[in-house]
Amino acid sequence: MIYFENVTKQYANSDTFVLKDISFYVERGEFVFIIGGSGAGKSTITKLIIAEEKQTSGSIYVNDVNVAELKDKEIPAYRRSLGIVFQEFRLLSTKNIYDNIAFPLRIRGASNDEIEELVPQWLDLVRMTDKAYSMPSELSGGERQRAAIARAMVNNPSVLIADEPTGNLDPIITAEIMDYLRQINEMGTTILVVTHDPNVVNSMQKRVIELNDGYITRDMQRGGYTFGY
Amino acid sequence: MDINIKKLGSFIKDAFDGLWFNRNVAIASVVIVMSSLCLFGAYIAISMNVDYISKQFRSQYAISAYLEKGTPDERVEEIREELNNISNIATINFISEDDALNYCKEMFGDDADFLNGLEEDNPLRASFDVTLKDLTKAGETKEAIEKIIDVSWAKNNQDFVTKILNITKSFKNGSFVLMLLFSLISVFIVSNTIKISVSARKEDIYTMRYVGATNDYIVCPFVIEGIIIGLIGALIGYIVVLIGYTYCYYMIAGYIESLVSIYKTHQLALLLFGCFILFGLIIGALGSVYSVKRYIKA
Ligand SMILES: Nc1ncnc2c1ncn2[C@@H]1O[C@H](COP(=O)(O)OP(=O)(O)OP(=O)(O)O)[C@@H](O)[C@H]1O
Ligand SMILES: [Mg+2]
């Protein structure tokens, strides 16, 4: 599903390696946390996966796609095969919630019938039906993130990548969002969550990959934020 | 780029979403496009009328250069050649002694009997009637012709015509400079306004890229937004200019109609419409393409 082999990454205008030697393999249906201190390279890993950045060496495969070898023209279609959730929600500010969730379907060229079937279904799943015609700026953080999850999932991607999805949310909303991610995972979607919230990691007891100084220092099948939890 | 009707429909919807979301900036842009087009329209109206007026004077106004009686045909041809070499002469029309007599007869109509019999001993002189390209240089041209043959002025008063033409011409030049200045300024402001609205939405542009939108999907709505702004500005500007022109027409036409006529509103309407739509389209489309391109990587 997701395959990193001896990946290193050095940003263009910098002389240090952010990732020094990263290898891991995520199987279909897994739920994985990526943790580590600020600047450890967690977001860099998500950027490599979504083809926003290229690794300096090593190889990355996602769904058997060699990500670094994608041509510019192939990147949009590749990204549409992933679901992506961001810390800052990143809903399109000019569109209401319904149109935000419909957006990935529209850019894929889905039929109107399909849009009219799937969007209400997802609005319902994330309990946003009442707010379908609200603009993102009129919603709370938790509501925005629920809408963003629906948008990420509406094309039924095999992988959902979330970079600090609860970073801007309070503990109660965080628990709710994590519950959605758990449900989505139970329906079969592989999930990769970057976080530095110990409560989230401890409560879920899922696989944990910990980064430190460019290396993976821990990769546990079921674990907490630190050893012993 | 492969665009079908469904895609186009969704681009247009996206464009209207964007315009509505940024309606204050959109309205400001429309006003700027409109004002610059009003200046552009004023320039077109003035310069069209200046050309129209000079054309009227030109056709009313000719220099007649009279030949000595009995000038031999070869000499007539020589003179025609020499006149041809004067650069400011637009047309040369030779009027023979017989032609001149016939004109007289036509002029007097039924009372022309007294001219009968003059064919035998025609007192009239043959002449070259020349029209000029640039009437404001009539003085110099007359001197040039005088070096060749006798000259007498026909019809209008030269000084007066020259004065009017000079005024209209400097009016035209002045409005050209103003028009150029203001359209440069307005193109600058419009592209900046669009740039501001695009950069306010650069996060949206990045988001669209992250979720896998192709460049068409990102750029086209912005371009359509720009075009809509340009077209609405053009249409409002068009209406303002037509009303303004009609008002000016009724103010001016009464005073000058005995002398010259100027274009009526409907005679300029189509030309102005074409220019406005074109200008609005170009400002809007170029401004937005240029601003959005910077945020698109792959
Ligand atoms: N585009 C870039 N150009 C140069 N350096 C970068 C770039 N993006 C990130 N870095 C650097 O790479 C390192 C890792 O960044 P990254 O964003 O992956 O960290 P992170 O683990 O996500 O941290 P945080 O928890 O604060 O989000 C940091 O030192 C950062 O300054
Ligand atoms: Mg990060």
pLDDT at B239: 95
Ligand 1 proximal residues by C-beta, below 6 Å: A 11, 14, 18, 36, 38-44, 196
Residues in chain B: 298
Q: Residue B59's pLDDT band (boundaries 50, 70, 90)?
A: low
Label the pairing between strands A159-163 and A82-86: parallel
Q: Is A54 on the interface with B (CB under 8 A)?
A: no
Q: Rounded to whole angstroms, how far apart are CA atoms A126 and A136?
A: 15
B134 neighbors B144 (Cβ within 8 angstroms): no
Q: Express each pLDDT in A71-105 by its tens digit.
A: 999 999 999 999 999 999 999 999 999 999 999 99
Place of tokens 């279609």: A77
Q: Is A129 on the interface with B (CB under 8 A)?
A: no
With CB atoms and an 8 Å threshold, state whether A77 touches B212: yes
Q: How far is the CA of A212 from the centre of ligand 1 (A)?
A: 13
Q: How far is the CA of B235 from the centre of ligand 1 (A)?
A: 50
Listed in sequence order, the residues at least 6 apart from B53 whose beta carbon sits closer than 8 Å to its beta carbon are B164, B165, B168, B260, B262
What value, to the nearest 5°, has the Cα angle with vertex B218 and ends B213 and B219?
145
Residues surrounding ion ligand 2 at CB below 5 Å: A 43
pLDDT at A190: 97
Within chain B, all domains assigned CATH 3.30.70.3040 are found at: 62-156
Place of tokens 């027409």: B249
Q: Express each pLDDT in B161-177 by its tens digit.
A: 677 777 777 877 887 88
Helical residues (DSSP H) of B201-298, grouped into ranges: 202-210, 215-256, 265-293
Q: Which residue of A has its CA nearest to B208?
A: A92
Which residue's CA is the closest to the ligand 1 atom numbered 17? A43
Task: State the complex-level ipTM.
Answer: 0.91
Listed in sequence order, the residues at least 6 apart from B239 whose beta carbon sits closer than 8 Å to its beta carbon are none
pLDDT at B156: 45
pLDDT at B94: 86
pLDDT at B181: 81
Average pLDDT, chain B: 81
Q: Express each pLDDT in A168-217 by its tens digit.
A: 999 999 999 999 999 999 999 999 999 989 999 999 999 999 999 999 99
Quick one: average pLDDT of B196-202?
A: 79
Helix (H) or strand (E) holding B29: helix B23-60
Q: In angstroms, how far is the first alpha carbon of chain A from the final one?
A: 27
Distance from CA of B187 to the nearest CA of A (A): 26
Q: Residue B2's pLDDT band (boundaries 50, 70, 90)?
A: low
Q: How far is the CA of A163 from the centre of ligand 2 (A)?
A: 7
Q: Rounded to whole angstroms, how far apart are CA atoms B203 and B290?
A: 17
Residues in chain A: 229
Q: Is B24 on the interface with A (CB under 8 A)?
A: no
With CB atoms and an 8 Å threshold, state whether B6 touches A50: no
> Which chain A residues are within 8 Å of B211, Cβ to Cβ?
79-80, 84, 103-104, 107, 151-152
Q: Which two tokens stand for residue B17?
A: 């979403």
Quick one: average pLDDT of B206-227?
A: 90
A141 neighbors A168 (Cβ within 8 angstroms): yes
DSSP B37: H
CATH of B62-156, one of 3.30.70.3040, 3.40.50.300, 3.30.565.10, 3.90.226.10: 3.30.70.3040
Q: Which residue has the higher pLDDT, B112 or B253?
A: B253
Q: How far is the CA of B156 from the centre of ligand 1 (A)?
A: 84
Helical residues (DSSP H) of B127-157, grouped into ranges: 138-146
Among the bound ligands, the one closest to the CA of A34? 1
